[in-house]
Each structure stands twice: as C-alpha cells, then as structure tokens.
Chains A and B, each alone.
Chain A
Amino acid sequence: MTQFFQQVINGLSIGSVYALMAVGYSLVYSIMNFSNFAHGGVIMLGAYFGFFSLTLLHLPFLAAFLLASIGTTILAIVVERIAYKPLRERKAPFLYFIISAMGASILLENIVIATIGPTFRTYPEVFARTPISIGPLAIGRLDLLMFVISAVCLTALILFIEKTKMGKAIQAAAYNIKACALMGINTDKVILIVFGLGGFLAGVAGVFFGMKYTVYPQIGNITTKSFIAAVFGGLGSLPGAVLGSVILGILETFVAGYLSSQYRDLIAFVILIGVLIIRPSGIMGKNTEDKA
C-alpha cells in the first residue's frame, strides 16, 4: 500500500510537469488548429536558460527560474512572428504551419548543438537530495516543488482564461477567430498572448526537466509525452490537457514501479494508439474535423 501511494505521488509530480507543457500545445492548437511542434525546442532552451543562469550568472534559484521563463516567453513569441505570422497573413493551409513548426524545431535544436554543443550537462544541486518523510512516504524535495509550482501555474492560467476579459477573448478565438475579430478583438494580440503564456510555462517545465534529468539538445523530445497527454485529454481543451498529463504521469510511474522501467515509454504510445483508435477527440476534446 505504501508503495502504491508512493507511486501516485511520483506520478503526480511528473504528470504536473507534463501538464505545463501540454497546456502550451493545447492553447495554440485551440486557436490555430495545428500542433506547434516547435514547443519542444522552446522547452529545451528553457532548460538551458535556467542552467546558465545558475552556473554562469550564479543567480539564486528563483531568479534563474524567472529569467528562464521570461526567456522562453520571448522565444515563443519570436517563433510565432517568424515561423507562423507570415503564414497567417497569407491564410496558408494548416499543413504549412506544421511544416513550419517542424522546421523551427529542427532549427532551434541545431542552433544549440552548433553553439552550446551536444554534451549532456547536469544542473548544480539546488536542493538537498534527502527526501521529506511523511509517515512511511518519502517525497523528494524537487518532486514536491515541481508539483506545487506546476499546480500554482496551472491554476493561475485557468483563472486567467476563465475570469478575465482577455481570457474570454481567448476562449472565443478558440471557437471562431473570425467572429472574435468582429467583436473588435485584436486577434493578432490574442495569438501573441497565447504563445507568450505557452512559452512561459515551457520555461518552467524546461527548468524542472533539466533539474530532474539532464540538459541536452534533444531534451525537447520529452514533449512527445506531453503531446500524447494533450491528445489523450483532448487537443484544444485545457482541463483535458491537465487531466491527460496527470493520468499519463501516474500510469508511467506505475508501469515503471510495478512492471519494469523499460516499459515506461511504451505506455505513452500504447495510450496514443488506443486513443486514436477508440476516441480520437480524447477525453474532453472538441470535434477534430478539418484539423491537422
């Protein structure tokens, strides 16, 4: 029983970071109807921003964290302006956006390989390795922080979307961006804010992944998991992305804990294939016709 709860806690912690990445996918998808594969590159650079803020600039942890997230916010917006805005203005088909996204992703990865190098880097130890004990359960300090900060970020995001005027505009744009413009809403600004929000959360996620594992140019591939989580939950739905991520995180740790850690990645793809066959719109997704 103890092991069961231990796995749930580990799963929640990793799932919450998947959720940070998955909502970035989902936000962009809900408004622009394409999967922004450059998101992984932004997360990867978030991990590097955090790493260098700690090692080169010797910033305290929170400052490094913030700097990395601001960096990725700007980066995500720059990617949008360069890779997608010209396509938007030409009213290009969705397929072109996906191709452009893949190009941006490859470009970001190779810029890092060419400038910083392909080596694996390890974050300096920010937190003590000794876990916090609650009864028989042991919770890693980093795991706890990952869960708490992710939960705070996601709650703030959902409040922003549900309670503010701009949030309503984002919801409206997700339904129909033309009608949104007819309300006098500057849709270009809505898109900019959506990329900025996704970018900020990507920075948070990137730093956590860098700390939990290592930093390397292909770390962005981890977003495959969050992409699967977003599809599982229902692409375009924020609560769906969070739910899908948490379930995926818990399932993964269960598989790793009870079967073998070698099967850990397998479960994600089994879920993806299963969802696509049984319920392509995911747990909470909207109808996915005409979307790429």
Chain B
Amino acid sequence: MLTVKDLHVSYGGIRALKGVSLAVNKGEIVTIIGANGAGKSTLLNTISGFLKPTRGEILYNNEKLAHRPDLIVKTGICHVPEGRLIFANLTVTDNLILGAYLRNDSKAIKEDLEKVFTLFPRLKERELQLAGTLSGGEQQMLAMGRALMTNGELVLMDEPSLGLAPLLVQTVFDIILQIRALGKTILLVEQNAFKALNIADRAYVLEQGRIVKQGPAAEIARDPAVRAAYLGSKSVAMKA
C-alpha cells in the first residue's frame, strides 16, 4: 500500500533521514520505534507532504505522492499529528466535521460521525464543548476521530500515547486495534516501544535517520539489542 524508497530528508541544516526504505501492506499495523530525534516524526511529516525529500520517493498504491498536504489527504492518507493539534477554539463536532472537509457526501459523513461517536462515546458526551476544554486523553481521541473523518485508508499516528496517564495509554492502544478492525491500515510511531510492539504486526527500528532493524513485531520485541535500548531489558526479562 505504502512504499518508501531510499528517503533522504534534510531540514534546518540537519540530515534527519538518511536513506529510509519501508513498506506498509493493507490491513497491517506497522510500528516505527526509535529514540527521540531518530527521525520518526520527520518520516511521517514527509509522507504527509510537510517536508520535501532531497532524495528518494514515496509511493502510495504504486503511485507517486503529491507534495502538498491537502492533496495527500485526498489520496487517502490521514495523519494524527504529534501533540494532537486539535482546534481548541472550535467545538468537538466542528473539529470532526472539518476532518470531512474534502467530502461532499453529507449522508456518509453523518454515518461516519456516528461511527466515531460509537468508537469514542466520551466525545459524544462532549459534542458541543469547545475542544480546548477536553482532557488530554479526550483530545487524543478527538485527533484520532478527526483523522478518521477524512475517510483515509492509511492512518499515520505520531506518538498517540505521549503525555497520557498510564491508564489512558492502554485505552489508546486498544482503540488503535479497533481502528484497524474498521478496515484501516496503520503506521504507528511510538516511544512506548513495548506497547507498540505488542499490537503491531511488523516493526522497524529507526536510529539516527536509518532503519537498523526490521521484522515481525514479536521478533523485534525479542531482539536483545532492542530490548536493551528501548524496552529496558530488565523489566522485560522479569516479565518473561
């Protein structure tokens, strides 16, 4: 579905990605784990068209992606950005309706709105509240719901569990599984490597702008080097 080939991206004088290649197949949850500054967000921002690659290409359904964010959304890729970036000055419903900006099928939009409210009952309760008054977890749900309203097939998620209370972190990962069950394909960037590997089918490890490991998520989770670097090998060993 998504193929990234030899992607090089520089910005602000830093070479953030140095030849990244990866693939995401339809229906998969693929996760990219890596430390802060490894280039995870850069990768997603480049796929979404906010950054221009200096080399390499991105194919979506075997076609080259445009270089403009709104056109990329139109082709079916939606992005739940890091820090959520909800529209705090608008109501919950307005936020969700904006997600459907490119769609004109008002009936289908209404149905999708109901689907989002079924997935996130909390949002239904707060439908007319200003988004800025929501809690962090609710804002994350809103950001996900808003992305789903674009009706994109591939959902890019950038650190969805960042800054959430431990109890909510699990909820967010459960929701990601539910979103996959809706028929979506997910590319997940996470610092919480343990949880991400737990729900993902396949994983890539990104270090300093390069993919250093890839494989089935379960296999990556067992890799001693990965465990030492990202999982805190002791706690995992205790669990095992």
Point out residues on A near B: beta carbons under 8 Å. Answer: 165, 168-169, 171-172, 174-176, 178-187, 286
Are B78 and A172 interface neighbours, CB within 8 A?
no
| Contact code string B32-73 (vs A, CB < 8 Å = 1, else 0) | 000000000000000011100000000000000000111001
Q: Residues of B contacting A171 with CB < 8 Å?
A: 87, 89-90
Point out residues on B near A: beta carbons under 8 Å. Answer: 48-50, 68-70, 73-74, 78-79, 81, 85-90, 94, 97-99, 101-102, 146-147, 150
Are B98 and A183 interface neighbours, CB within 8 A?
yes
Q: Residues of A contacting B89 with CB < 8 Å?
A: 171, 174-175, 286
Give the interface centre of B79, B86, B89, B98 by most chain A CB atoms within 10 Å. Answer: B98
Q: Residues of A contacting B50 with CB < 8 Å?
A: 178, 181
Are A184 and B88 interface neighbours, CB within 8 A?
no
Closest residue of chain A to B94, judged by CB?
A168
A172→B108 CA distance, assembly (Å): 23
Q: Residues of B contacting A184 with CB < 8 Å?
A: 70, 73-74, 101-102, 150
Closest residue of chain A to B104, judged by CB?
A165
Which of B68, B73, B88, B102 has a CB less than 8 Å from the CB of A175?
B88
Return A86 CB to nearest CB of chain B, in Å.
Answer: 16
Seed contacts A165-B101, A182-B85, A183-B102; 16 additional CB < 8 Å A-B pairs: A168-B94, A168-B98, A171-B90, A172-B90, A175-B90, A176-B85, A176-B87, A178-B50, A179-B81, A179-B86, A180-B98, A181-B70, A181-B73, A182-B78, A184-B74, A185-B101
Return A202 CB to nearest CB of chain B, in Å.
Answer: 25
Q: Residues of A contacting B94 with CB < 8 Å?
A: 168
Are A178 and B73 interface neighbours, CB within 8 A?
no
Are B90 and A169 interface neighbours, CB within 8 A?
no
A286→B94 CA distance, assembly (Å): 19
Closest residue of chain A to B69, judged by CB?
A181
Closest residue of chain B to A174, judged by CB?
B89
Closest residue of chain A to B80, judged by CB?
A182
Which of B70, B78, B97 has a CB less than 8 Å from the CB of A185?
B70
Q: Residues of B contacting A174 with CB < 8 Å?
A: 89
Given known A-B contacts A165-B101, A168-B97, A168-B98, A182 and B79 have beta carbons under 8 A apart? yes
Are A168 and B74 interface neighbours, CB within 8 A?
no
A183→B98 CA distance, assembly (Å): 6
Q: Residues of A contacting B99 with CB < 8 Å?
A: 183
Give 8 pairs: A residue, B residue, CB < 8 Å, sorted on A: A178-B85, A180-B98, A181-B70, A181-B73, A183-B98, A184-B70, A184-B102, A186-B70
A183→B85 CA distance, assembly (Å): 11
Q: Residues of B contacting A172 with CB < 8 Å?
A: 87, 90, 98
Are B79 and A175 interface neighbours, CB within 8 A?
no
Q: Residues of A contacting B69 with CB < 8 Å?
A: 181-182, 187
Are B73 and A182 interface neighbours, CB within 8 A?
yes
Given known A-B contacts A168-B94, A169-B98, A184-B101, A179 and B70 have beta carbons under 8 A apart? no
Closest residue of chain A to B149, judged by CB?
A183
A246→B90 CA distance, assembly (Å): 26
Are A182 and B147 interface neighbours, CB within 8 A?
yes
Q: Residues of A contacting B146 with CB < 8 Å?
A: 183
A168→B96 CA distance, assembly (Å): 12
Q: Residues of A contacting B49 with CB < 8 Å?
A: 181
Q: Residues of B contacting A178 with CB < 8 Å?
A: 50, 81, 85
Closest residue of chain B to A165, judged by CB?
B101
A264→B55 CA distance, assembly (Å): 61
A181→B98 CA distance, assembly (Å): 11
Are A183 and B101 interface neighbours, CB within 8 A?
yes
A168→B97 CA distance, assembly (Å): 10
Q: Residues of B contacting A286 with CB < 8 Å?
A: 89
Q: Residues of A contacting B70 with CB < 8 Å?
A: 181, 184-187
Q: Residues of B contacting A168 with CB < 8 Å?
A: 90, 94, 97-98
Which of A165, A179, A186, A187 has a CB less than 8 Å from the CB of B87?
A179
A165→B73 CA distance, assembly (Å): 17
Q: Residues of A contacting B90 with CB < 8 Å?
A: 168, 171-172, 175
Which 8 residue pairs across A and B have the least CB separation, nearest first?
Answer: A184-B73, A179-B85, A181-B69, A184-B102, A186-B70, A175-B87, A172-B87, A183-B101
Q: Residues of A contacting B150 with CB < 8 Å?
A: 183-184
Q: Residues of A contacting B147 with CB < 8 Å?
A: 182
Closest residue of chain A to B73, judged by CB?
A184
Given known A-B contacts A168-B94, A169-B98, A172-B98, A182 and B86 have beta carbons under 8 A apart? no
A132→B217 CA distance, assembly (Å): 81
A176→B99 CA distance, assembly (Å): 14
Closest residue of chain B to A91, judged by CB?
B11
A174→B89 CA distance, assembly (Å): 9
A181→B45 CA distance, assembly (Å): 12
Give the interface centre of A174, A175, A183, A186 by most chain B CB atoms within 10 Å. Answer: A183
